[in-house]
Amino acid sequence: MKKFMACLIGIFCMLSLLVQNGSAEDTVKVGVVLPLTGAEAKFGRIEKQSFNLALNEINASGGIDGKKLELVMADDTGRPEVGRSVVEKLITGDRAVMIGGGFSDSVAYAAASVCQQYKIPFLVNTASADKITATGWDYVFRLNPPVGHYADAVKTLLAEKIKPRTVAIVHENSLFGTTGAKSFSKFCGKAGYKVIWKQGYEHGRIDFKPMLSRVKQLHPDIIYMVSYITDGSLLMKQARELKLTPKMFMGGAGGFTLPAFAGKAGVASEDVISATLWNQILPFPGAMDYYNKYVAKYKKSTEYHGAEAYAACYVIADVLKRAKSFENTDIKQALSETDMMTVFGPVKFITWGKMKNQNKASAYVVQWINGKLEVVWPAEHATTPLQYPVDWLKTWGY
């Protein structure tokens, strides 16, 4: 009897272990950490919906070698301490075999440190602070480019078309904002553009007029803004009210590419250009199809954040199909061998510069023209010509 009980206990322990690593269940669990409440929830919802759109397609096509892919969504609320806590629960409680998501830079960095500690692979799809893949962590991979490269296409546009002499930089005091502003300022110095103003602000500020009035007195050729949607919209509305008219207003991605930007900023959004990482008209297989399916299902537009999440889900599925097992080391190995095309573009994780396990994605320039976001640079991908020079007062209806 004792031998029989010992045998039963041994079998139970083996089954428990198999369930924990996902190999005895009919599903494979992957944790996804996103801001589903709080100030960044608008982005989190777009990404969650895009993950789920891809998830349904993947499972309808056979899942992971017959097993269903299960995404366990966790709300980080946009706070690093919450992100750290929920990722630890995804790993130790939900037994996720890997982690995806990662929107806010500070949250993703905190989550990445937990994943590295537990040696659980983390595929970041949006958070862009350079240090996320420049810390040397071997269990952290990133699909999107680092923020230091968001403005790569903007840089060639400035050099070839706008040719500014002076630049003012306005940015939010987040990891995303400060890193993007620092990178662009460094580029300006190398390119010979004089940065005559560079100032940060706290996210959620509602009165930018004192700062913009001082910028107006300096007459910069370019005003470069690294902001999310609410701040970016207010910056442009108040710049219009002050009749601040540089050669060009430029966004460093973030809120300036969201469909809601035109609605929030109104006529002040017209002719504003921005760096972006994706548009549905780019020649990537399935890009327009993803956009149309998203609009049909959710009755609203999507943009590059959604494309990152949709592509990341397909990368996760591809990795899990190729991995020898659902053990952490095998999944990490499969991630490192990834070489595939997605709606976001090619994905291959390499080491370049200070970056480790970093995909080398491209950037583009878009412009708000007649209330619609158009690709204007590089020229070979343009959906319409760049609107430049701009008579801002006429554009704004003065």
226 pLDDT tier (thresholds 50, 70, 90): very high
Domains and CATH numbers, the chain: 2-145+283-359 (3.40.50.2300), 149-276+363-395 (3.40.50.2300)
- Asked if pLDDT for residue 5 goes beyond 80, the answer is no
Q: What is the pLDDT of residue 20?
A: 46
Q: What is the pLDDT of residue 52?
A: 98
Q: Is-contact 299 308, C-beta < 8 A? A: no
- Asked if pLDDT for residue 15 goes beyond 80, the answer is no
CA distances from residue 235 to 160, 211, 348, 367 in whole angstroms, order as listed:
27, 10, 37, 17
Q: What is the pLDDT of residue 21?
A: 47
Higher pLDDT, 22 or 152: 152
- Asked if pLDDT for residue 254 goes beyond 90, the answer is no
Kindly report, residue by residue over 124-136, the tens digit of the pLDDT. Answer: 999 999 999 999 9
Task: Kindly report the average pLDDT of the chain as a whole number.
Answer: 92
Q: Is-contact 139 364, C-beta < 8 A? A: no
Q: Is-contact 86 104, C-beta < 8 A? A: no
Q: What is the pLDDT of residue 110?
A: 98
Kindly report, residue by residue over 260-303, the tens digit of the pLDDT. Answer: 899 999 999 999 999 889 999 898 999 999 999 999 999 998 99
Q: What is the pLDDT of residue 3?
A: 52
Q: CB 340: neighbour CB atoms within 10 A?
A: 13
- Asked if pLDDT for residue 168 goes beyond 50, the answer is yes
Kindly report, residue by residue over 233-245, the tens digit of the pLDDT. Answer: 999 999 999 999 9
Q: Of the ranges 20-34, 159-173, 253-267, which one carries the lowest mean pLDDT score?
A: 20-34
Q: Of the ranges 94-103, 109-118, 308-317, 378-387, which one carries the lowest mean pLDDT score?
A: 378-387
Higher pLDDT, 150 or 94: 94
- What DSSP assignment string belongs to 28-91? EEEEEEE--SSTTHHHHHHHHHHHHHHHHHHHHTTTBTTBEEEEEEEE-TT-HHHHHHHHHHHH
23 pLDDT tier (thresholds 50, 70, 90): very low
- Which pTM was predicted? 0.82
Q: What is the pLDDT of residue 148?
A: 78
For residues 17 and 10, what is the distance between their CA atoms, to the nearest angstrom?
A: 11
Kindly report, residue by residue over 341-362, the tens digit of the pLDDT. Answer: 999 999 999 998 899 999 999 9
